[in-house]
Structure 1
Amino acid sequence: MRIANLAGRLVLHTDAGAVDVQRASSGRFGADPQAVYERWDEFRDWARTAPTGPVAAFDEARVRAPVPAPRQVFGIGLNYRDHAAEAGLELPASPAVFTKFATSLAGPRGEIALPGSTVDWEVELVAVVGRRARDVSVARGWDHVAGLTVGQDLSERTVQLAGPAPQFSLGKSFPGFGPTGPCLVTPDELVDRDDLALGCALNGRPVQQARTSQLIFSIPELIARLSAVLPLLPGDLVFTGTPAGVGAARNPKRFLRAGDELVSTIDGIGDMRHRFVGRERVVGAETEG
């Protein structure tokens, strides 16, 4: 099953197009894309019955974040060996966890403002929690995952690394710094949920390429480790980490500039496309509006 947020309404993304969930379910499920995660098991069972309803074109320009308002957003650092190596850091003995504040979330298409000159890219697989998780075992980790989507953990490196203690959450939470999409895909739709090719390209040139089988801490282990500390709630997001190829590790360093286009892709899920603009352009547009 593939679901999406089409202009603020929950839809099933089928081969024929977009099926509006509220209409197809005769109001059993609402239009709010966020609300469905609180009833995920019930919704999944309903969707498996191949609901019928009017089919609309799946207009990519109208697609928004599949999970628009999560209560908790977790980020995992140094979760690929090659990324830890390029950063010159030892492999973590336990997941390095930070948060991205929810106001950083954005959809899979559009423009993102650059707040500084050292903004970096980080393509990531994002897991969405579909069932409350507390003290979950690794063996049961996948049972608590509603689905997977593509994410970018954009990072303003100067802010992230400023001061005596790094400010990961602030450096990664500017507006637009957490785009996700284009759809949420349930694990059963994928040939191998533990081994997905992911990557991103800058202005048509690949800059990151890896497979999720290279994760140090797998999705089930992340669910287990996080839920041992606090409850994971339906609709929460877990950005699982980025592989090697970030701009800060290049020689010379390469950061995002106004006019750049970044395409982020995960096989079996889809791609996101973003163009970067100067902060003054966005501020000016907001002032005029």
Structure 2
Amino acid sequence: MRLIGYVVDGERHIGAVQGNQVTPLGTMAGFYSAAPENRGRPAGEAFDIEDVTQIPPVPEAARVFCVGVNYHSHAEEAKTLVDFERPAYPTVFGRWAQSLVVDGTPISIPPNEDGLDWEVELAVVIGSSGWNVAEADAEEIILGYTAFNDVTARRKQMETPQWTVGKNADGSGPIGPVLVTRDELPDVNSLRVTTRVNGEIVQDANTKDLVHKISEIISYISDTITLLPGDVIATGTPSGVGIARTPQWLMQDGDEVVVEVEGIGEVRNPIVSRKP
């Protein structure tokens, strides 16, 4: 299935997309609390996708676990910036679900930033609770995968050793355009990921280059934090980020960024200024 989130009368819902038609599958809360075998049951008549306001296809209470410096190419790139060695363990930091937005949503540059940076990522959405999950069993708790752009306020990120503020600018986490269930993406360890800014390819890599594979990340997190249905794991970005370029290139008011993950689709967002 290919899933989207949407709002009806102020309540969050989820549906399965086929072409321009959406088959409702119930409320977001009901979907993620249901047993996995009950999640594909229609909960009403299909409707046109243009008839609803889309939202991220995860619960409002979802945790977003991001993994930093998790492509070999980006690890080499990071050395030139902060003398950051390739991590022996997944470098996990958090985002708030409130920072997530969907395709087409304008992303605002905070007033004290020189611009915003791009980071294409493959994201995992958890389908079943998991504690102390072995790597061999990790796939069993995955609902599916989506594309994510970890748009970053670099000044705030670099001012302290803690990345939280720079990674949580308002509305800076585009996700989508759909959540593809894992049965439709059997080999996520070989997917092309790209970023285009104003039509120019700035990142072009493959998930083969991940330092820590998805199963390892799930196992690493879950022996300490129980993963819950709807949680998101963003698996890291490859080389090509704007801050590592000479000269540095950060997105400005009027720019457009498009991230794409093979088999999932693209998420396109305009960049706008935000003044006090």
- TM-score, normalisation: structure 1: 0.86
Structure 2 SS opposite 1:36: helix
Aligned residue pairs total 266
Structure 2 SS opposite 1:231: coil
| Residues 87-166 of structure 1 mapped to structure 2, 5 A cutoff | 87-88=78-79, 89-115=84-110, 116-163=113-160, 166=161
Amino acid at match of 1:84: A
Amino acid at match of 2:13: R
Amino acid at match of 2:72: R
Q: For 1:85 and 1:183, locate their aligned partners in 2 and report how far apart those are by CA, in whole Å.
A: 31
Amino acid at match of 1:11: G
Higher mean alpha-carbon deviation, 105-114 vs 4-13, is at 4-13
Q: Which residue of 1 aligns with 2:24?
A: 20
* 1:70 aligned to which of 61, 79, 97: 61
* 1:167 aligned to which of 149, 162, 169: 162
Structure 2 SS opposite 1:10: strand
Amino acid at match of 1:5: G
2:73 and 2:209 in contact (8 A); partners too: no
| Residues 232-271 of structure 1 mapped to structure 2, 5 A cutoff | 232-271=227-266
Q: Provide, for residues 46-73 of structure 1, a one-character-per-residue CA deviation record: whole Å limited to 9, x for no partner.
A: 44xxx59633222398332111413321
Q: For 2:54 and 2:64, locate their aligned partners in 1 and report how far apart those are by CA, in whole Å.
A: 20
Mark the CA change 1:70 to 1:150 in structure 2 (over 3 Å): closer, same or farther: farther
Q: For 1:60 and 1:263, locate their aligned partners in 2 and report how far apart those are by CA, in whole Å.
A: 24
Q: Provide, for residues 235-271 of structure 1, a one-character-per-residue CA deviation record: whole Å limited to 9, x for no partner.
A: 1111110001100000000001000000111111111
1:188 aligns with 2:183: yes
1:40 and 1:130 in contact (8 A); partners too: no
Decide which structure has greater helix share: 1
Mark the CA change 1:87 to 1:232 in structure 2 (over 3 Å): closer, same or farther: same
Mark the CA change 1:91 to 1:258 in structure 2 (over 3 Å): closer, same or farther: same
Mark the CA change 1:201 to 1:137 in structure 2 (over 3 Å): closer, same or farther: same
Structure 2 SS opposite 1:100: strand
Mark the CA change 1:52 to 1:37 in structure 2 (over 3 Å): closer, same or farther: closer
Q: For 1:101 and 1:245, locate their aligned partners in 2 and report how far apart those are by CA, in whole Å.
A: 25
Stretches of structure 1 that go unaligned for 5 or more consecutive residues are 22-29, 284-289
Q: Which residue of 2 aligns with 1:56?
A: 47
Give the aligned CA root-mean-square deviation in angstroms: 1.9
Stretches of structure 2 that go unaligned for 5 or more consecutive residues are none
2:146 and 2:175 in contact (8 A); partners too: yes
Q: For 1:73 and 1:239, locate their aligned partners in 2 and report how far apart those are by CA, in whole Å.
A: 7
Mark the CA change 1:126 to 1:40 in structure 2 (over 3 Å): closer, same or farther: farther
Mark the CA change 1:55 to 1:258 in structure 2 (over 3 Å): closer, same or farther: same
2:59 and 2:230 in contact (8 A); partners too: no
Cα drift, residue 16 of structure 1: 6.0
Q: Which residue of 1 aligns with 2:76?
A: 85
Structure 2 SS opposite 1:139: helix
Q: For 2:133 and 2:186, locate their aligned partners in 1 and report how far apart those are by CA, in whole Å.
A: 25
Amino acid at match of 1:143: E
Q: For 1:255 and 1:176, locate their aligned partners in 2 and report how far apart those are by CA, in whole Å.
A: 17
1:226 aligns with 2:217: no
1:34 and 1:235 in contact (8 A); partners too: no
* 1:211 aligned to which of 182, 206, 219: 206
Structure 1 SS opposite 2:14: strand
1:108 and 1:179 in contact (8 A); partners too: yes
